A and B are shown apart, each in its own frame.
Chain A
Amino acid sequence: MEVWVTGLGGLCAAGRNIEEIWASLLAGRRAGPKPPARLLALTEFRNLEGLGHPAFSLPDDCFPEGFRHSARDSLDLAEAAGREALAQAGIAAAELAEGGGLIMGGTAGNALHFLKDYDALRRGAVSPGQGFVDFFEHNPAEGLARRWGLRLPTWTVGNACCSGADAVGLGLSLIRSGRFKRVLAGGADALSLTPYVGFRRLMIYSDEPCRPFDGRRQGLNLGEGAGALMLESADSAGARGARPLARLLAYAAASDAHHLTAPHPEARGLRRAIAAALGQAAVRPAELAFVKAHGTATRDNDRTEALAVNQEIPGTPLWALKGSTGHTLGAAGALETALGVTALNRGRLPASQGFQEADPELKLAPSGPLESLKGSAALCLSLGFGGGNSALLLGRA
């Protein structure tokens, strides 16, 4: 069954919607990451040692009711991206409930990260902290359905940094099962102190703006944002006169079953995911216009991706986005796939910000900018803690 992408939405430090982000990427602008003052202002740590490293933050007014440092922030971002995707598709939110589903991926936004209220409770507070209430009421997918007054099946994907990509992949699977004619799928994550400190303590957070695939890369910078794709069966979309931005040809996911926080050294799962996605759609590597890498700029991630790309799809132009967006965690897979659709649709590939100097060990480097694209398909990769590897294959409309 053919599945179309009929609407896109997204926001991140590079822009407040897909058009703004795209313009920023084409212009080669890089919103210089800096210590997230908004996040740090909410902490009560006297000792900020170990904090203050750069992150790609959104402007405050992207949080309509004010940044709360709670699950509600991620839901605000999910709603903004979701509304944009629905608008472009020409679908009212209420129409989603007619044979549709809603899937949102996340990490911090659907985890127990209510630090301030937890601290208060530990000290004997007896009133329900707003952070607790926000957690229960703002599960990304369930909360979005509630905000829009919809009664429909919802899924919140908690697959670490693959969450957004797996949300889109699950959407494809559900539509192809014949049980759903359309699915709004995406991911969202606002900055949270928990991963901000956690990644630092895992020694994979860079003190300087991140450099995906660069020889001097030191690690990732967190970002925040959301991405959403309106997916529809071609029959359903065609019947209402919609036109595709791209076709979603295949989704494959493979677990390394190897290590909790490091990818398989031989890229076992990622290589299998790439091969399976291409195989499902009978697309040859030579037909790929580009591969959108996960590209976190950690030593391990980029080495693993380089190995997989060199072995499975050698010579394919490589695009890495996190030098412009930061690592938006649960949003990344959906946001970057939405931008992959945009690149394929418009036939151009912006430069990969942050990359300057090739790493001889990797034996590949990001391409671009490219003013024209040769292939008819594009591959979007995501990797995540827990050994997750996901590949989404896009086809030109």
Chain B
Amino acid sequence: MLLKLEALGGLSPAGTLEEVRAGRRWSELFNGDLAARLCDPSYFKELAALYPGTQLRRAPRLARLALRAAAGLAPGLVPPEKRALVLVTAYASVGSTFEFLDSLLDDGPPLASPTAFSHSVTNMSAAILSQNLDIQGLTLTLTQNDFHQGLEAAGALLQGGLADTVLLGALGEIYGLMPEIEKLARPGGPPPLSDGAIFLSLSPGSPDQKGPPVEFNAPAYGDQGPLAQAWRLASLLAPNPARTVRCGPGRLEIQTREAGS
């Protein structure tokens, strides 16, 4: 299955995708130095200028990460009902879920926060993205460690004609006691990169425009969480003007927009 990369966007503790690319700071993302760092909240100040404001006032931090990373990726020429969204996240909204648990424990069931509860639902970031990017096709949130299956899902939706374009993303946030919980319950340690978001805007590929192939060994990064896997894929897709990235083990291929041109 051949997919075409239309655009990329991301936000990480090392900055936006554009800043990472310009500064050639890819290695910082993967060497563990940024594992415990948060994305700079100053990026959120730009949101008001990037979106019409729907729900921004109440959007939880995880959704704000997603909105900032996906800014400019709305496929304007594709009708809203033919736009789909696939989000892969290991833990969904850690902040909102813990806020609800805190309110439940501190205030008791009669006063637990309904806002935190609704924001804690696993697909809330997808919902907020769909509102702000006017995505009216399928929005699919996968709560798992493997980003590659998100790619499979996006490919199936495009191949089956359920969507003309898919915004595929990975998303995660560091919040509260979560790093401690990971250390206690997962002796192997937390994923190397847990905070931020990365998005690929995908459409069906064109076999006559395939560029030189590059391999992406998704299973090799399978234990690092979906966000780290997606950034590794982005590091192959972003810097080169013409290539086709082969993503094992299902042999999905992604061609960069300039490939073959």
Interface residues of A (CB under 8 A from B): 45, 47-51, 106-107, 110-113, 115, 118-119, 121-122, 126-129, 132-133, 135-136, 139, 141-142, 153-160, 166, 170, 173-174, 176-177, 179, 193-195, 197-203, 251-258, 260-261, 268-269, 272, 384-388
Contact of B100 among A139, A198, A272, A384 (CB under 8 A): A198
Complex CA gap A110/B92 in Å reads 9
5 cross-chain CB contacts under 8 A? A155-B149, A255-B139, A384-B123, A385-B121, A387-B139
Complex CA gap A213/B123 in Å reads 26
* Binary contact track B72-104/A, C-beta < 8 Å → 1, others 0: 000000001100010001011010011011101
Select from chain B the residue with minimum beta-carbon distance to A43.
Answer: B109
Complex CA gap A174/B160 in Å reads 9
Query: Least Cβ distance of A313 to chain B in Å?
Result: 19
Residue of B80, B89, B108, B145 with most partner-chain A CB within 10 A: B108
Contact of B134 among A47, A122, A202, A257 (CB under 8 A): A257
B140 at the interface (CB under 8 A from A): yes
Interface of A is mostly: mixed
Select from chain B the residue with minimum beta-carbon distance to A117.
Answer: B181
Complex CA gap A142/B136 in Å reads 29
Contacting pair A111 B136 (CB below 8 A): no
Query: Least Cβ distance of B191 to chain A in Å?
Result: 12
B49 at the interface (CB under 8 A from A): no
Contacting pair A141 B144 (CB below 8 A): yes
Q: Which residues of the other chain, A, contact B117 by a CB distance below 8 angstroms? A: 194-195, 197-199, 201-202
Query: Least Cβ distance of B114 to chain A in Å?
Result: 4
Q: Which residues of the other chain, A, contact B104 by a CB distance below 8 angstroms? A: 115, 193-194, 197
Complex CA gap A157/B144 in Å reads 8
Contacting pair B123 A388 (CB below 8 A): yes
Contacting pair B185 A133 (CB below 8 A): yes
Contacting pair B156 A174 (CB below 8 A): yes
B122 at the interface (CB under 8 A from A): yes
Contacting pair B109 A51 (CB below 8 A): yes
B16 at the interface (CB under 8 A from A): no
B177 at the interface (CB under 8 A from A): yes
Q: Which residues of the other chain, A, contact B153 by a CB distance below 8 angstroms? A: 155, 170, 173-174
Q: Which residues of the other chain, A, contact B102 by a CB distance below 8 angstroms? A: 122
Contact of A154 among B119, B144, B185 (CB under 8 A): B144
Q: Which residues of the other chain, A, contact B109 by a CB distance below 8 angstroms? A: 45, 47-51, 197, 200-201
Contact flag A158-B143 (CB < 8 Å), given A122-B105, A179-B152, A198-B117? yes
Q: Which residues of the other chain, B, contact A141 by a CB distance below 8 angstroms? A: 144
Contact of A179 among B131, B135, B136, B250 (CB under 8 A): B250
* Binary contact track B1-40/A, C-beta < 8 Å → 1, others 0: 1000000000000000000000000000000000000000
Query: Least Cβ distance of B121 to chain A in Å?
Result: 5
Q: Which residues of the other chain, A, contact B80 by a CB distance below 8 angstroms? A: 257
Contact of B130 among A193, A255, A385 (CB under 8 A): A255
Contacting pair A257 B143 (CB below 8 A): no
Q: Which residues of the other chain, A, contact B157 by a CB distance below 8 angstroms? A: 173
Contacting pair A158 B130 (CB below 8 A): no
Contacting pair A159 B100 (CB below 8 A): no
Residue of B1, B126, B185 with most partner-chain A CB within 10 A: B185
Query: Least Cβ distance of B208 to chain A in Å?
Result: 21
Contact of A107 among B122, B145, B155 (CB under 8 A): B122
Contacting pair A194 B1 (CB below 8 A): no
B46 at the interface (CB under 8 A from A): no
Contact flag A110-B122 (CB < 8 Å), given A47-B108, A115-B105? yes
Residue of A47, A118, A255, A384 with most partner-chain B CB within 10 A: A255
Residues 113 to 149 of chain B near chain A (Cβ within 8 Å): 113-114, 117-124, 126-128, 130-131, 134-146, 149
Q: Which residues of the other chain, B, contact A251 by a CB distance below 8 angstroms? A: 162
B214 at the interface (CB under 8 A from A): no
